[in-house]
A = this chain, B = another copy of it.
């Protein structure tokens, strides 16, 4: 077990000597291409590997023992494990987008207009087009935004609608059911008071609500509480998922397809999946790293989007562990950067 290294010492626990690394990379590249287990001879024919198949074989035995490769069955080639992909990704020199794709991205961001929601949704489609993987775009919640305006509107005597505009350009509505018939003048007055109370605050800000028992005060209290109640569930993040049909293209087993779609259906879960990966400081989660068993054969690539240096969402790509990491990561990165720049107060505002 404890063999002494001669030239390139496997310095610590997670480093392979140059030859093993080259072999591992060859295996990953080949397997991503063909979806088949790869054998020693095809590795040996790789330009970066200058030894014979026999040597490759003995190295592969070592790589398997160390958990980077696995063998589906005795007389088959090797397949990368999650750990193998992890090593591959960690030692990947970041790629660049093909020029056609770069052009496509440029063109896209030069031409998008409209509401943030539309831009984000279209961005997700763009990502899917670029990579052929399912994409996710998460828009930030308005927890950092301040209130620009609130307005109470009478739907009928018992039902009011609270419309709040935030500084990030998002608009939310909340309906209020009153226990008493509300007069128009009261709504107008409550609206006025709410504006005075809330403009400039965030959802976190504690505000002093009137404690009187009259109709207007009750309306104001109800409005504030319904607005601030939004907190716990979700911060109003928006999720846009593009190309879920790619799931059926990219995974083989129907069972896998079902499980992955089942995850994608739950938007809150997708948000926290992306968030968790970012929180761990990762840009890729492979297999079990995603934290969700149904995604054990998936890899998720994420890239944060910021506005004025603050986190403001993320873009993501979901594919099989056997995915084209270099290209996909490049795409995610470029798009997230462009998106960041697009909202850097530059010109357009959603």
A262 part of interface (Cβ distance < 8 Å)? yes
Interface of A is mostly: mixed
Bound-complex Cα distance A257 to B171 (A): 36
For A254, the chain B residues whose CB sits under 8 A away are 248, 252, 254, 257
Indicate if the CB atoms of B167 and A165 lie closer than 8 Å. Answer: no
A164 → B minimal CB distance (Å) = 9
A171 (CB) vs chain B CBs: closest residue: B173
19 pairs from A and B in contact (CB 8 Å cutoff) = A148-B153, A149-B153, A151-B151, A151-B163, A158-B349, A161-B171, A163-B165, A169-B173, A169-B175, A177-B349, A244-B244, A244-B261, A244-B264, A245-B258, A245-B261, A245-B264, A245-B265, A248-B258, A252-B254
As for how many copies of this chain the complex holds, the number is: 2
Q: Is A308 among interface residues, defined by CB-CB distance under 8 A?
A: no
CA distance in complex: A334, B10 (Å): 67
Residue numbers in B under 8 Å from A169 (CB-CB)? 155, 159, 161, 173, 175
- A36 smallest CB distance to B (angstroms): 18
A177→B262 CA distance, assembly (Å): 40
Chain B residues within an 8 Å CB radius of A264: 244-245
A115 touching B173 in the complex, CB below 8 Å, given contacts A153-B148, A245-B261, A349-B155: yes
Residues of B within 8 A of A159 (CB): 169, 349
Asked if residues A249 and B258 are in contact (CB atoms below 8 Å), the reply is yes
Instruction: Fill in one digit per residue for A136-169: 1 if any B CB lies within 8 Å of its CB, else 0.
Output: 0000000000001101011110110101010101
**Is A174 an interface residue when CB atoms closer than 8 A count as contact?**
yes
Q: Is there contact, CB below 8 Å, between A165 and B177?
A: no
